[in-house]
Structure 1
Amino acid sequence: MTSETSNMTSALMTLRDHLIGLERERCEAIATKNHTRLVELLSPDLQHTHTRGNTDTRDSYMTYVQEVLDIQKVERPALELHVHGGTAVMVGTQINTARLRQGDPRTARVESKIIQVWVRERDGEWRMRYFQATALGGPVFLEE
């Protein structure tokens, strides 16, 4: 391996670590209700498609996590990352533990297959631009 190849491999691993870190921050920001940090991680042009097929913009998604669903935990047990220049595609499983803020008081776990796209935006920052979830079965209600 040449030193140029070694440097490119090292830079790619550093970028991969950075992007995985941003995804970890996104999950943590959702669970801890750090809405300021969550907005910073989401593109102003976000298209977030939920397991039921409805799609949110960044603004409507923020309303959803602040007023509709109390997401208590977001787990990413398996995550693949593919970087293509200024675009990164993440594929894997996501498990949310959440409850509705109004209505049914039960807490549920929902497991989904996720594909998401992070983009390096004009200001040089990486932000999540696209998110698509497909449910892997129905919600599992937890004992209270």
Structure 2
Amino acid sequence: MTSENHLPASTATEALLLDLEAQRCDAMKRADFARLREILHPGLTHVHAKGQTDDYDSYFRSGGTHVEYQQIDRSELKVQVLGTSAVMTGRQLLVAVRKDGTGTVRIDSRVLQVWTQEDGGAWRQIAFQTTPLEMSIA
């Protein structure tokens, strides 16, 4: 099966997921929580660089509310589509300033994400885990 632009379905899905990931990063930088709620799945498990874990509700209570994201760069992204699920891996460089003025956080990490599509609808990120390669807090 091919999409309108004649890409194989898996390639079109990979392109869609890469675009959604770019939108997720942009929404984080803009503190666009409404858009993040559309991209992230209600069953979300989000594992942070220091090992703390958030679900969907706790992510929105804590995620992004205590820092201002200045930079989120993704690279080396690979997507493996497995039916209605997909695994995305790659690097992430994140720089954020704490809103309480206590410093800047810089994390260079490897990231593992799982995306899911329910009932042929929108793809949403259901799992995220980051493993720091280098982390500094200034």
Correspondence for 2:128? 131
Q: Kindly tell me: are residues 56 and 31 of structure 1, through their superposed partners in 2, closer, same or farther at Cα, counting changes over 3 Å?
A: same
Question: Contact conserved, 2:98 with 2:105, CA < 8 A, in 1?
Answer: no
Higher strand share: 2
Correspondence for 1:25? 23
Which one has a bigger Cα radius of gyration? 1
Correspondence for 2:65? 67
Question: Contact conserved, 1:32 with 1:72, CA < 8 A, in 2?
Answer: no
**Cα displacement (A) at 1:37:** 0.4
Correspondence for 2:115? 118
TM-score, normalisation: structure 1: 0.85
Higher helix share: 1
CA RMSD of aligned residues (A): 1.9
TM-score, normalisation: structure 2: 0.89
Q: Kindly tell me: are residues 27 and 54 of structure 1, through their superposed partners in 2, closer, same or farther at Cα, counting changes over 3 Å?
A: same
Aligned residues: 135
Q: Which runs of 5+ in 2 are unaligned?
A: none
SS of 1:139's equivalent?
strand
Residue type at the aligned position of 1:61: Y
Residue type at the aligned position of 2:106: R
**Cα displacement (A) at 1:99:** 1.6
Aligned-pair identity (%): 35
